[in-house]
């Protein structure tokens, strides 16, 4: 089941509007440290980093792949949404409806 807040976050991410440190900095708002505060790596906090490269998101992607039987590539939010839309959206929605 997808809650309204999940839909909102997904919509914001699909518009590439998540306020990451990197994006805030591009908007000329002062940021002391651009590195991700959620991990111990020295990477800049970008939408791709948060939704594709982080260790915990990889674990979620693998678990979803196993559960759904669909291989989810390590891509950004927008690329994954386009992939779902082109290839597997109906299958994915059906699986989600069966689980709720």
The crossing angle, in degrees rounded to 10, of helices 89-99 and 55-68 is: 90
Contact criterion met (CB below 8 Å) for 84 and 70: no
Give yes or no for residue 88 having a pLDDT over 70: no
CA-CA distances (angstroms) from residue 44 to 1, 61, 85, 89? 32, 21, 29, 31
pTM: 0.60
Backbone angles phi, psi at 76, to 5 degrees: -75, 170
- Mean pLDDT across the stretch 62-87? 71
Handedness of CA 87, 91, 95, 96 (dihedral sign): positive
Enclosing domain of residue 56: 4-99
* pLDDT, greater one: 92 or 6: 6
d(CA 26, CA 53): 21
In this structure, are residues 58 and 74 in contact, taking their beta carbons and an 8 Å threshold? yes
Single out the residue of 71, 64, 66 nearest to residue 88, CA to CA: 71
**Predicted confidence (pLDDT) per residue in 15-73, tens digit:** 888 899 999 999 999 999 999 888 877 889 998 888 777 767 777 777 777 776 777 77
| Total count of domains within the chain | 1
């Amino acid at each position: 089941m997808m809650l309204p807040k999940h839909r909102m976050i997904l919509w914001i991410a699909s518009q590439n509007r998540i306020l990451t440190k990197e994006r805030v900095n591009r908007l000329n708002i002062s940021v002391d440290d651009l590195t991700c505060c959620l991990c111990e790596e020295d990477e800049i906090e970008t939408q791709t980093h948060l939704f594709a490269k982080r260790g915990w998101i990889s674990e979620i992607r693998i678990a979803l792949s196993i559960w759904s039987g669909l291989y989810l590539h390590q891509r950004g939010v927008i690329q994954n949404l386009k992939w779902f839309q082109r290839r597997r959206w109906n299958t994915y929605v059906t699986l989600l409806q069966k689980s709720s």
